[in-house]
Amino acid sequence: MATTDKASTRDRLLDAASELFYREGVSIGVEALCRTAGVSKRSMYQLFASKDEVLAASLARQLPEYETQLAPDSQGAGTPRERILHVFERLEKASSEPAYQGCPYLAALVELKNPQHPASTVARGAKDWMKGYFRTQAEDGGARDAELLARQLMLIFDGASARSGARVETLDGLTVATVTTLLDAAGVT
């Protein structure tokens, strides 16, 4: 029974952390986190050494869903070009949702500004995964310089995420058209 209670408490903390950190930012206090999760601070500190660890664990727990939402189901789904464009189609779709506030991993990196922070490490890992995904697709699609193209695609993804999350820009086909031009110039099929 105690194992179930701990798992439930841990899940509630991570759910609350995901929601609050995304909506309010990483500066949310332990009191608000515990109140939202419906757990005591004592319970939180029995499971995690710090709020920083809660943030890192909540970001790590979201990573498989994040990857699944953006990348096609398998490497066999379409051409490399279609797989890259799929990421940007998904970004455009997500950005049209009222609750969208940009990429949670980019937000964590920008807000924390500390590369040694445990959540920065997780967030950087998410960004490295995406860059690696783009590089692999670019290589498979015959890009002249797959590493450069992957870096360019990351700039477009992160810039579009930030601008649409801040409600400065609506994407409505903008990223797909931009990426299509970039893929054409790089020779990706």
The rounded percent of the chain whose pLDDT value lies above 90 is: 88
Token representation of residue 100: 């969208």
Give yes or no for residue 48 having a pLDDT over 80. yes
pLDDT digits (tens, 9 = 90+) for 121-169: 999 999 999 999 999 999 999 999 999 999 999 999 999 999 999 999 9
Residue 43: which of 95, 82, 7 has the closest Cα? 7
16-45 average pLDDT score? 95
Architecture of domain 2-186: Orthogonal Bundle (1.10)
Residue 22: which of 47, 68, 58 has the closest Cα? 58
Give the dihedral of Cα atoms 91, 107, 29, 9; nearest 10 deg: 50
Give yes or no for residue 2 having a pLDDT over 50. no
Domain boundaries, the chain: 2-186
Predicted local confidence at residue 72, as pLDDT: 74
